[in-house]
Amino acid sequence: MTLTLYRNGSVYSAADPLATAMLVDGDTVAWVGSEHAAAALADERMHLVDLQGALVAPGFVDSHIHVTETGLALETLDLTATTSLQRLLDAVSQAAAAAPGLILGHGWDETLWPEERIPTAAELDRASGGREVYLSRIDVHSALVSGTMAARRNLQDLDGWLGNGLVVRTAHTAARAASRQLDDSRRAAVQQRALQAAAAAGYVALAEMAAPHVGPVEDLAMLTAPGNNKQPEVLPYWGQAISSADEGRELLAELGVPVRGLAGDLNIDGSLGSRTALLRQPYADAPAETGTRYLDVDAVADHLAACSELGLQGGFHLIGDAAMDIAVQGLEKAAARVGIAKVRSAGHRFEHAEMADPAAIAALAAHSVTVSVQPMFDALWGVAGGLYEKRLGAARGGVLNPIASYFSAGVPICFGSDSPVTELNPWSSVRACLQHHQPAQRISARAAFLGHTRAGWRAAGERDPLMGQLVPGAPASFAVWQADELMVQVADERVQSWSTDPRARTPLLPALDTGTDPACLQTVHRGVELHRAEGFAANPGVAMS
């Protein structure tokens, strides 16, 4: 095995909170400690890596991602910064002039536009010159389609065709499927684009939330195919409901992919932005609408009971408060059927869980349900006058994403991006936890970091208790970061916000209020280098094949 000594930096390690060096033996962390001790350890057997003050920290885990969709978004029209309806149409026109074929784009959000409306199918036809156009909304639960696409794909005959080019529900599923007909070569290319971007952002693992309405099982099979260890590890989930343990066994055999659970984007409801999240009371900006219910209490109970019998994680996508009601009632009904011990031991997980009152939070804690939350949702939409307030009104919109309440109630929690919904930037997500628009829902920097690292492994049922830590015996899965500064100040304001008072011997994290996010210099998973930034010292001490 090859020994590699990282020194002259900082190491985020519970084994030694003030560590400045780390020794890696092949695929395992062998030692962490002081620079002085490292100098005594160094000999001719070792490859030395001078960190030059950089930070070594456990690699991030994205606990909710769609890899193929992320790759496609990275290669097509980026509409996330589009500030008006007209700018969107201009982008479509430019794409039509640049290349033939289907025009794809992602990320528009009409709540940011001065026109206060979306383009019609006829306007997209004119902008595209009559081409097929599919532009997914930022939440990916609705899309704009051209009249050409609607006519060719018979979208007008499906539930969710709203008559003006906006599609939701079944019509959206059909339009999305038509927009992503990928052969193996193209599928591999877009997946690699996303995986490389994740590695460059310091991720060592990605919980892939695949589902029939998101993409074919071939996507998941290619992502989990053996042999390629030079990419972030994929933690695969498949979002398809079952009604019995026997049905579950048949489905697992049919999939042929060793999934970690039948969970993820198994939708109880949709999204707030597309007004398909299921609400107890109507939308403030659409009083006739309360959202869409995809599953009822009995279906949720059947699925959770069957998964519990199989000892398999089950779970759902749920956002609205009425969707949470369905989930909790189904959870309690499943526990009454198979016993609460089986429900708890299965480690079920609920995705997003944006609207949860104290009673729901208590129920999740009682049943040991993990919530997989996206902190950037609050950063993007929780601000005054933002999407939450527009869709729900100030009172309801001001209490979403109760991160600290989950923690204080003992609900296991992990964090992800839901990419391509939000960007692959883990430090932005950590910052969102610290700057939650509700001060009472802010958590410490340490809790936020652990929720993005070690907690992601635990949420996915990882058996190695050392995964996500840098301690002797742990897998060598880490990232090296160049940061402007570490959080060493002890002024009351900084200590309260970042919880990094060095007197508490808490490992230091990068300061996230400097205006510059940490830059990822290297990402290593189980001893294999996944990413190295240009100019970072060559490191033959980690496996390259």
For the chain, the structural domain boundaries read 3-58+470-532, 70-179
For the record, the structure tokens of 353 come out as: 């869980």
Across the range 71-85, mean pLDDT stands at 95
Mean per-residue pLDDT for 399-424? 97
**Whether residue 545 has pLDDT greater than 70:** no
| Distance between CA atoms of residues 36 and 15, nearest Å | 17
- For 325-339, the pLDDT digits (tens) are 999 999 999 999 999
Structural class in CATH, domain 70-179: alpha beta
Which residues does residue 205 pair with via DSSP β-bridges, in sequence order?
61, 233
Mean pLDDT over 169-180 rounds to: 94
Answer yes or no: is pLDDT of 543 > 80. Answer: no
Give Dmax over CA atoms of the chain in angstroms.
Answer: 74
- Phi-psi category of 404—alpha, beta or left, where left has phi over 0 and alpha has psi -120 to 50? alpha
Give the residue-averaged pLDDT of 137-165.
95
267 DSSP assignment: B
Least confident segment among 338-347, 433-442, 484-493: 484-493
> What's the order of all strands across the beta sheet hosting 60-65?
60-65, 203-210, 233-238, 261-262, 313-318, 349-352, 370-373, 413-415
Determine the Cα–Cα distance for residues 59 and 530; give it in Å rounded to an integer. 11
CATH number of this structure's domain 3-58+470-532, picked from the four choices 3.40.120.10, 3.30.43.10, 2.40.30.200, 2.30.40.10: 2.30.40.10
d(CA 296, CA 544): 49
pTM for the full model? 0.93
- Position 540 confidence tier, pLDDT thresholds 50, 70, 90: very low
pLDDT at 487: 58
426: nearest Cα among 503, 526, 487, 509 = 509
Residue 259: pLDDT over 50: yes
Cα of 531 vs its chain's centroid, Å: 20
Residue 494: the pLDDT is 38
Task: Give residue 537's pLDDT.
Answer: 74
Query: What pLDDT is recorded for position 424?
Result: 97
Q: How far is residue 514 CA from its own chain's centroid? A: 25
What residues does 144 pair with on adjacent strands? 135, 166
User: Any idea what the Cα angle at residue 425 is, between residues 421 and 426, rounded to 5°?
Assistant: 110
Q: What is the pLDDT of residues 462-505, one digit of tens each?
A: 999 999 999 999 999 999 999 877 654 333 343 333 444 454 56
pLDDT (mean) for 384-392: 96
- Token digits for 266? 């198994």
Q: Distance between alpha carbon 92 and the CA centroid of its chain, in Å? A: 28
Query: What rounded mean pLDDT belongs to the chain?
Result: 92
pLDDT in tens, 90-142: 999 999 999 899 999 999 999 999 998 999 999 999 999 999 999 999 999 99
What b/e string do you get for 270-302 counting C-beta neighbours within 10 Å, with b at 16 or more? bbbbbbbbbbeeebbeeeeebbbbbbebebbbb
Decide if 16 contacts 492 (C-beta within 8 A): no
User: Region 186-215: what's the mean pLDDT?
Assistant: 97
pLDDT at 227 exceeding the cut of 90? no
Helix intervals (H) in 213-366: 217-223, 245-255, 297-310, 321-338, 340-346, 358-366
pLDDT band at 513 (very low <50, low <70, confident <90, very high): confident
Tell me how far CA of residue 167 lies from CA of 104, 143, 144, 259, 334, in angstroms: 15, 5, 6, 31, 34
pLDDT score of 485: 72
- Which position has the higher pLDDT, 37 or 95? 95
Is residue 230 helix, strand or coil? Answer: coil
Q: Using H for helix, E for strand and C for coil, what is the string for 110-176? A: HHHCCCCCCCCHHHHHHHHCCCCEEEEECCCCCEEECHHHHHHCCHHHCCCECCCCEECHHHHHHHH
Which residue in this structure is represented by tokens 């398809």?
A: 240
Q: What is the pLDDT of residue 39?
A: 83
Rounded-to-integer distance, Cα 214 and Cα 530, Å = 27
The 8 Å CB, 24+ separation contacts for 76-81 are: 76/104, 76/105, 76/106, 77/103, 77/104, 77/105, 77/106, 77/135, 78/105, 78/106, 78/107, 79/105, 79/106, 79/107, 79/108, 79/135, 80/106, 80/107, 80/108, 80/109, 80/138, 81/107
Peptide bond between residue 375 and the one before it cis (omega within 30 degrees of 0)? no
What pLDDT is stored for residue 542 in this prediction? 44
**327 neighbors 355 (Cβ within 8 angstroms):** no
| pLDDT at res. 496 | 35
162 against 276, higher pLDDT: 276
Distance in angstroms (rounded) separating the CA atoms of residues 225 and 248? 22
Helix, coil or strand: residue 227: coil
Angle at 419 between CA 413 and CA 425, to 5 degrees: 75
The candidate with the shortest Cα–Cα distance to 454, out of 471, 470, 445, 467, is 467
- Over range 515-538, report the average pLDDT: 91
Instruction: Give percent of the chain above pLDDT 70.
Output: 94
Residue 504: what pLDDT? 53
pLDDT, mean of residues 148-173: 95
